[in-house]
Structure formats: C-alpha cells, structure tokens
Structure 1
Amino acid sequence: MNEQERNSSLLKKERLINKLAVDQQSSFLATWWIEIANSIKKTKIEWSLEYLEVVNQNQYDFWTRVLKQEPWIDFLFPDTVIHKGDHYWVHELFYSNYPSSLPLRYLPKLEKWLTNSSDNGATLKEIMAKLNLSNQPIFLFFVRMSPIVKMELFDLASIATNDIIPDHEDTAIMALDGSWLIFKSLEQEWVFGQI
C-alpha cells in the first residue's frame, strides 16, 4: 500500500469513527431526552435550545445531517443548535458555580427543600416563591445529557409535570448567568440557592 492509499484509508477510518460517535450520541438522546422535548413541544410554549450537542469539527456535518432525519426533523432545529468546540459552557458554569457536597454523586452545596409532594410543579413553585424569583429566561437541563433548553421561568412553572421534570434524571433549572439554581436529584432531593 502506497502512502496515498494509506492516507485515504486513515481518512475513511476517521470519518467512520466520527459518524459512529454521532450515531451513538444521537441514539442516546433520542432514547432518553426526546420524550422530554416532545412533552415540552406539546405544551405550545416558546422554547429553544442553547445547544443540543457540542462537537468537534469532524462531527459537525454528520450532526447537521442527523437533524434532518427522524426523530429530529419533527423539531425543525436549526444547525446552530450544534456547537463546534469542546466546551459545554452551560454545564461548565453550573459545575463551577455549584460544586457537589457529596463525593460519590452530584448534589450541589445548597439549601435543601423538604417536601412531601410528588408534584414537581408544586414544589418548583414553592421554591420560586422562597427565592422571590421574577419571570426571566432560564436554562433547563439534565446533568448527564448535553441539550440545554432555554425558556421563560414562569412558562416552565406552568408546565412542570413529571414528564418535563422527570424523576429518573438529575434536573437543573438555572439563571442564564448562573446566579441562582434550583436542582432536583434522582433521589428526589430538591436544593436551591444563589451565589
């Protein structure tokens, strides 16, 4: 095999690796996150994505193609929801502003909210009142997933069901500048606070 054939083979291998990585991440999100996105979409409130995924340059074109296929095509997301780079900046802001209080699982070092309610919407509204929050754009996201939903806080409060704030995910509701956080853990612990 000459050098040109070897380079061509390496390029094909690299493209395949990138395509498989995109297929795997897309499949993961379609399995775990798309139900939440569909629940939000059905409410007819205004929302957008800060980002769906952050990828390297070699994966970008594969992602833009995936957005035009099922199940993603139903959302008509623009290509701009795929960010190029390696910084999940909202997640990074979240972790830097709110470090964990536990060594084996993530739970921010914030005030705990004790609730007997299984109604996530009611609990969210109680915490919003305690923090005296006004309506404002916020980020809604799930700690182990890349998509960052952007919407109005009061809109979220009006639709906050267990479908949108599921019990099987660590859920973060954060001010755009990271100045306050409401967090619900997998263990149904609610914590909140400001920096």
Structure 2
Amino acid sequence: MDIQPQPTQPQNTNLNSPVLTPRGFGGLGMASANSTSGRVVQIVFIISLLAGSLAAIVYGVVFLWQRSLNVKSDNLSKQIQQIESQPVIDKALAKDIKATNEAVGILKNLLSRHIVSESLFRLVEDHTLTKVCWSDLTFRAPQLFNLTGTAGGGLASLTLSGSTQTYLMVGRQLRALENLPEIKSVKLNQFSESESGVNFGLSIDLSPDNFFYKLNY
C-alpha cells in the first residue's frame, strides 16, 4: 500500500503579531533616559526652590536688622539734638543757683554785721573810762561795709549816749577816743547836768581804712 506523503502546510505568518525587533529595544532605552532626565529636573527644581527660600530668609533678616539699626540711629540723633539744643544750665538749676546766691549774700550780710557790731562793742568797751557809763549805742552807715578792707560808700558813724560824774571826765573820755586810729573824729553833741552827774552824747566818725583793716586782720 502506497502511502502518499501529505503536503506540508505553510506556517501561518501573522504580520500583526508582536515581534521584538531591534527598533523595539531602542524604544525601551529612550523611555529610561526620559525618566532619568525628569528626576534630574525635579532635583534641580527642589534645590533652586530651597536656595531661593534661604536667600529670601537671609534677605528678610538683613532687612529687619538694617531697619532696627536705622531706628536706633534716628533715636540717637534725636537725643543728641535735644541735648545740643538744651542750654548748659536749665531753668531749675538756674533757680537753685539764684536761691543759693541770695542765701550766700544774706549770710555775708549777717556775718559782716556781726563782725562790725562785735568790733564796735569791743572798741568802745576797751576804751571806756571806769567812771563813764554808756546807755545807748547807735551805728549808722550809708552802705554796709564789705569784708575786703574798704567801706561801702560814705563814712560810718557811731553815736554814744552816757553819763559820768563831772565835765572833767567827759573831756577825758573825749580825748581817749580821739587818739584811736579806728576813729576819724569825735564830737560832743549834747550835755546836761543831772542829780548823779553829767549826761552827754558823742558823735563819732569811723576811719574806714584802719577800722576795716583790723576787722579783716
């Protein structure tokens, strides 16, 4: 029995079936490259964003610091202008100085009066005769004597009222005072008799140079 060979059927070739080709491998390479470049762009963008944020923060800090310095500088300038515009001595201090000056003047006045009165009492007491008794002493000066050794103006006068036993004692007292360098002149301005003796008064002009030289000495 003869076996007839079966005809060989050609293989079914479908042109639409996917076949890997070198071109297909090239497509996969391009996709991988695009993915890598995208990541690089993202990283660069993030770095740029961080750098911009850091720069903004630094700029803000510098701006605020500079503004603070400007405010402090303006305040200092205003304070300096206020200090420079103020007078060397303000009103309160000037008032205190004036009050102190007046107080010093009053003290000097009292001191000079005290020195003059004590010196006059001592002068009269040291040169009064034992039998003469004074009942009144009046000191007059056109201006208060100062403490620099000169009179304030005009002559100072001293008026004494007293009593003694006789006219002879009146004359002796008059001569005792006339011989003093502190006294420029002595005059008998009144006298009268009384039951106890004689009442009399003397007018004395003081010598400014000698009198105040001894006061300051």
Q: TM-score range by the shorter chain?
A: 0.3 to 0.5
TM-score normalised by L of structure 2? 0.30
Instruction: Select the structure of larger CA radius of gyration.
Output: 2
* Structure with greater helix percent: 2
Q: Provide the TM-score with structure 1 as the length reference.
A: 0.33
